[in-house]
Chain A
Amino acid sequence: MLTRREMLKKVGFGGMVLVGGSIMKLPLMKTQLAHASESEKWRQFAGSKIVFMSEDTPPTAAIKSKVKVFQDLTGIEIEIIQEHLDIVAEKVGIDVRGKKGAYACFYSQDKPIGAQFNAHAIDLRTFEKDPTLPKVPDGVGDDVWLSRFLDITGRFFGESKIAAYPYDNAVAVMMYRKDLFEKYSPQFEAEYGKPLVYTRDTTWKDVLDICKFFKKSKFSDVKYGIALQGREGWGGQLDYQRVSYANGMWLEWDFDDYFGSKKPGPCNWGDEQSIMTMTNYKALMKYAHPDSLVNDWSGANTAYITGLAAMQPQYGEFAAVVEDPNQSKASGGRTGYALCPKGDPSWIVGNGKAVNGTNCGIGGIAINRWADKDLQKAAYLFALWSSSHETQYMVMKDVGGTPTRKSVYELPDVKKAFYRETAPMKKLDKPVEIEKGVMVNEVPLMPNALTYAPILESIKKPQFVIGPKVIKFNEYAQIQTSEIHKCVSSLKSPEEACKAIKKKTDRLYRV
């Protein structure tokens, strides 16, 4: 019979053998995994749970609706939290600064999140090289993404590290009411001596004329020419930048926009061009929808779809709402999508070039460096899956997305959907009356695709402006927009506002 002491010895030895065996087995398992099939690699973290903190964008809503496909593929449970971008930045900031890793992966908009927290993201190249992790057919190299999107969202301040994969894109286009333009063209032409049309040669000065015309005319079906997005912070910074870059390709700083800078040096605010643009932006705001100073992208879109404004510079992803007759008076083929307005020679100081200034927010998906190691890999699988060609095509076709991979835009049915004339349509169960006597029977199958033609044109140089990718971007955007507000509200002159931005911004970067 065994004594208690002998029993404990044997159990202890047995335990040591088991533990030792499993330790010795680990590298073997890893080697096995490296040679395992792709489906086994996708399933290696089955049973894990990860949290993805994302902005409440239509593409994320689309991914969320298709997340079961990912769960079936990997066995990983994923919780997708959707918040307003400011809240995402705040929560991610607190999480990573506290080194908690509660969000294994997070949405990383290039400037407000990426430029601030890229150091807290894992270098995705380490996972790319890992033979135990799966690959996607197209790969994740620079050439698979649209217009250097990987540089925009993944690389910061000259480092080779890749902090995020391009996950969705918000590129600005001009959305305008074709029906109203046609209807009021004769009257506009009689007053301004030019037809009321929107083309890629339409300038911001033309837009100002259109705004004056609509505001003065007080038509029953539209009140304002344009709805802008001047809310304090990033939204307002982007809104202003579309005008400032179009006129003379003016930039806040003179560094390489794709990678940004930690020490940007003295800014260009306060120069003659900035004062000229500030003066003209103030004029635009005077004739724009009256809430334009507090509206962000959603607020401006509400003004547009409720029929209060005839135009809005807006991000492509909003086309799904604009084309939905249950929400929008601008649906039923009434909206045209075009490049943002061009600069006007009379608004440019010196020899600057007039371009169709277009800006963007390229959303990346980043992995939290403070998360558990296995969860990081599980999150990588999600990043890989959600940014893959198959997923981007699936969500775009079924729900509405904004793909970042070139290959999706090259698919024949997607190309057809670029133009209203050839776009595949979906019959509605019941016709919807968007205005008295105006019925809508069908909607585009891929509404966002209607914006792709102008987007693909816009993201080329010289139209495309990316930056400024700077540290302390959020504070910079706040300084800029609050001074713009003071100018628009006549509390400061354009010159005083521009010089105040210069002073405060240079101080922020210790110039």
Chain B
Amino acid sequence: MTYPIDETIQTPLPADQGASWFKGLFARIKGALSFDLWLMMPTIIVLAIITIYPFFWMLVMSFKEVAMDPGQEDIWIGLYNYIRLFDDESFLNGVKLLIWYFFLCLSIEMFLGLGVAILVNKAKFENFFTIIFIMPMMVAPIVVGYLFRFLYNVSFGWGFWFLKSSGLIAGDTILANAQPWLLPFMPSMAFMAVVMADVWEWTPLIMLIVLAGLKAVPQDQLEAARVDGAGPIRTFFEVTLPNIKGVLLIALVVRFMDNVRMIDLIYVLTKGGPADTTKILPFYLYNVSFKYFEFGRGAAIGFILLVFTIIVSMFLVNVVFKKKETTNNV
């Protein structure tokens, strides 16, 4: 069987025309690059190498069964690593739990962070309280994990004793409790225990970002609202909140990206158990790659997680910039 030849593709460009085409392209690139961009070029190239090279290898590995033993060759298996994930209960459970984790952590942290920032803003001893509140953020996540593991311990944990004696939890354990929390379709008690550790550590970050945003709320708008007779609640919803929306979205993006990399707390607290109820996708990825040493499958999960992160981040970033543009136009 012969294929028709596209003459336009086959016909070579005249030599002088080809050269001028390249010159034109170079001129266009040169024109597009500002002086500032030229100055940043070395850094951009280095960053590109250290990110694109591993990314490329991750992609290649995801199409292979990577050999375990010396002397064995990797086997090219095409899309098998991707296809099998859709039949992998742990993977699907990991995706579901990651969404839950993101939703619960972010909603609680945003609510508390915003509340604390409003209380601290312009309060007496503001600096002192700010330093106290941001302390948990300075602790390494692995240390936070151990701290909460001791707090939740049924033998000597102060946290367990407090929650149990105050009637806030049922059952004799927190971390080994796989029972759904509140409703049948919600994550387990153990999952909530991990969320609470995350909330304790990262609410201060939201508070800090929001506090910075609150400082930037135009004073004249606040005064105008006060003159117009708006109370504190109306002033907050009509003036403060619209002014800090952009900052809140940035906090959301930052925490989202942290959440998709989160393994430390789970590693120390539950190792993904009980009954896989805390095995969020990043932790499953860690297990597949560095516990089972299934690098091909791990790369496929990593790639999917990366795509998921990019889509959600782009969506959030677009919301931020759209908001900014709208504000500027107004």
Residues of A at the B interface (CB closer than 8 Å) are 86, 89-90, 93-94, 97, 99, 116, 119-120, 231-233, 289-295, 302-303, 306, 308, 369, 471-472, 474-475, 478, 481-482, 485-486, 488-489, 491, 504
Cβ of A294 and Cβ of B172 under 8 Å apart? no
- With A119-B69, A290-B176, A291-B176 known as contacts, the answer to whether A491 contacts B291 (CB < 8 A) is no
- With A116-B68, A478-B287, A485-B178 known as contacts, the answer to whether A232 contacts B273 (CB < 8 A) is yes
Cβ of B273 and Cβ of A482 under 8 Å apart? yes
Contacts of B270 in A (CB 8 A): 294
Contacts of B68 in A (CB 8 A): 97, 116, 119, 471
Contacts of A94 in B (CB 8 A): 290
Minimum CB distance partner of A119 in chain B: B69
Q: Does B136 contact A (CB under 8 A)?
A: no
Task: Tell me the smallest distance from the CB of B182 to a CB of chain A, in Å.
Answer: 16
Binds A, one of B16-24, B35-43, B48-56, B149-157: B149-157
Contacts of A489 in B (CB 8 A): 177-179, 274-275
Cβ of A86 and Cβ of B275 under 8 Å apart? no
Cβ of B271 and Cβ of A232 under 8 Å apart? yes
Task: Tell me the smallest distance from the CB of B96 to a CB of chain A, in Å.
Answer: 14
Interface residues as binary, B160-184 with A (CB distance below 8 Å gives 1, 0 otherwise): 0000000000011101111100000
Say which residue of A97, A232, A290 sits within 8 Å of B272 (CB atoms): A232
Could you tell me the distance between the alpha carbons of A120 and B293 in the complex, rounded to whole angstroms? Answer: 14
Cβ of B171 and Cβ of A486 under 8 Å apart? no
Nearest 5 A/B pairs, CB to CB: A489-B178, A290-B172, A485-B275, A290-B173, A293-B176
Tier of interface size on chain B: 20 to 34
The B267-285 residues at the A interface (CB cut-off 8 A) are 270-276, 279
Contacts of A478 in B (CB 8 A): 287, 291-292
Q: Does B294 contact A (CB under 8 A)?
A: yes
Q: B68, B179, B275: which has the most chain A beta carbons within 10 Å?
A: B275
Task: Tell me the smallest distance from the CB of A232 to a CB of chain B, in Å.
Answer: 4
- With A86-B291, A97-B293, A474-B292 known as contacts, the answer to whether A233 contacts B154 (CB < 8 A) is no
- With A369-B70, A474-B292 known as contacts, the answer to whether A482 contacts B173 (CB < 8 A) is no
Cβ of B178 and Cβ of A486 under 8 Å apart? yes
Minimum CB distance partner of A303 in chain B: B155
Contacts of A475 in B (CB 8 A): 291-292, 294
Minimum CB distance partner of A306 in chain B: B155
Contacts of B293 in A (CB 8 A): 93, 97, 116
Say which residue of B69, B71, B273, B279 sits within 8 Å of A294 (CB atoms): B273
Could you tell me the distance between the alpha carbons of A214 and B294 in the complex, rounded to whole angstroms? Answer: 44
Contacts of B177 in A (CB 8 A): 489
Could you tell me the distance between the alpha carbons of A299 and B69 in the complex, rounded to whole angstroms? Answer: 34
Cβ of B273 and Cβ of A481 under 8 Å apart? yes
Cβ of A486 and Cβ of B172 under 8 Å apart? no
- 16 residue pairs of the A-B complex, CB under 8 angstroms, read A232-B271, A290-B172, A291-B173, A292-B176, A293-B176, A294-B270, A294-B271, A294-B273, A308-B155, A471-B68, A475-B294, A481-B273, A482-B90, A485-B276, A489-B177, A489-B275
